[in-house]
Structure 1
Amino acid sequence: MSIDTDAQFTDVYRAHYEDVLRFVRRRAHPMNVDDIVGETFLAAWRRRRELPENPRAWLFGAARNVMLNADRGMRRQSALVVHIQQATLIGCHEPAADATDQVDSRIDLVAAWQCLIPADQEVLALHVWEGLEARDAATVLGCTRAAYAMRLTRAKRRLAGLLSPAAQASPALSLTN
């Protein structure tokens, strides 16, 4: 897909800006989000004649590279950490046991998520939050579709293992650690 005019690039920008913004917000410190998104679209502008027909996965990959480059000096892996908001319990009234069960399940999920290595978090996030097909997720990570599929399978197994009743009894999932 060769982009030859400003109008064509504007169309690509408008079509994918929100997706790229959400992608970056989940992975970067809030103060850095605008800069990362801006650098991502600057890279897209510079390579506008080389963009694929559907540039969404390419843009995610470019955003990921911007984040990795920004954090490489301090902590290489920190660019892959996905931030999830924990449920706020302040001011909640317990209307039913179901709500308590939901909160307990969410706390267990948060604890299990935090026990995963950043690479597992990233693979699962691309699958669940971004809704990418294996081919596109592999493009984001810079690997083959088969390698991505294997990483996803392993990450799912590790998360499921952390959520199993036996794993929940272990001190590794304690929220006080």
Structure 2
Amino acid sequence: MPIHTEAELTDVYRAHYEDVLRFVRRRAHSMNVDDIVGETFLAAWRRRRELPAHPRPWLFGVARNVMLNADRSARRQSALVVHIRQATEAGCHETAIDATAQVDRRIDLVAAWQSLTPADQEVLALHVWEELKARDAAMVLGCTRAAYAMRLTRAKRRLASRVRPAAPASPDLSPTH
């Protein structure tokens, strides 16, 4: 979908600005969001003749590269943790006992999330928060669909292993000597 005029870029901007803004807000410090989004659309203008027919994943990939190039991965991780904590605080409206259990589960989830590598966090975020299909998420990460699917499977396993308490070994499955 090569862009030849400023009006065509304006159409792409209007169609995808909110998505790119949300994408960046989840990953970057709030002071840097506008700069990252601006750089993303500046790159779209500079590479306007190379834009794919469906530019949303491409824009996400550009935004991601802008963040990585600026060495903001630590701030992105902090912003995601804040987002999870805010969701925890906003989600407690049940009875006190249920609310306490829910908070405990969410605290466990926050701790599990923080223990993941930034790469695992990114793969899970593209799947859960951005709701990208495997093909599109792979484009964002610059890998094949199969590689993305494997990374997602492994990240899900690592997160699940950190959230679920380790089950005691069954006497029937214990090694005998």
TM-score range, shorter chain: 0.7 to 0.9
Identity %: 78
Structure whose residues are more often helix by fraction: 2
**1:68 touches 1:79 (CA, 8 Å); kept in 2?**
no
| 1:9/1:129 CA distance change after superposition, 3 Å | same
Following the alignment from structure 1 to structure 2, what is the Cα–Cα distance between the partners of residues 136 and 103? 33
Structure 2 letter corresponding to 1:78? A
Q: Shift in Å at residue 58 of structure 1?
A: 0.3
Residue identity opposite 1:147 in structure 2: A
* Distance change >3 Å, CA 142–CA 93, structure 1 → 2: closer
- Structure 2 match to 1:44: 44
For the pair shown, the structure with the greater C-alpha radius of gyration is 2
After TM superposition, what 4+ stretches of structure 1 lie above 2 angstroms from structure 2?
Answer: 77-82, 92-96
Q: Is the 8 A contact 2:29 2:75 kept in 1?
A: no
Q: Displacement of 1:22 after TM fit?
A: 0.8
Structure 1 position 165, deviation (Å): 1.4
Displacement of 1:94 in angstroms is 7.6
Q: Which stretches in structure 2 are left out of the alignment for 5+ residues?
A: 168-177
Q: Distance in 2 between matches of 1:49 and 1:146?
A: 28
1:78 match: 74
* Distance in 2, Cα, partners of 1:110 & 1:83: 10
Distance 2:24 2:144 in 1: 23
Partner of 1:7: 7
Pairwise CA RMSD: 2.2
**Could you tell me which amino acid in structure 2 is paired with residue 4 of structure 1?**
H
How much does 1:84 deviate? 2.6
Aligned length in residues:
162
1:50-89 pair list within 5 angstroms: 50-71=50-71, 77-78=73-74, 81=77, 83-85=80-82, 86-87=85-86
Q: TM-score, normalised by structure 2?
A: 0.84
Structure 1 residue 2, shift from structure 2 partner: 1.3
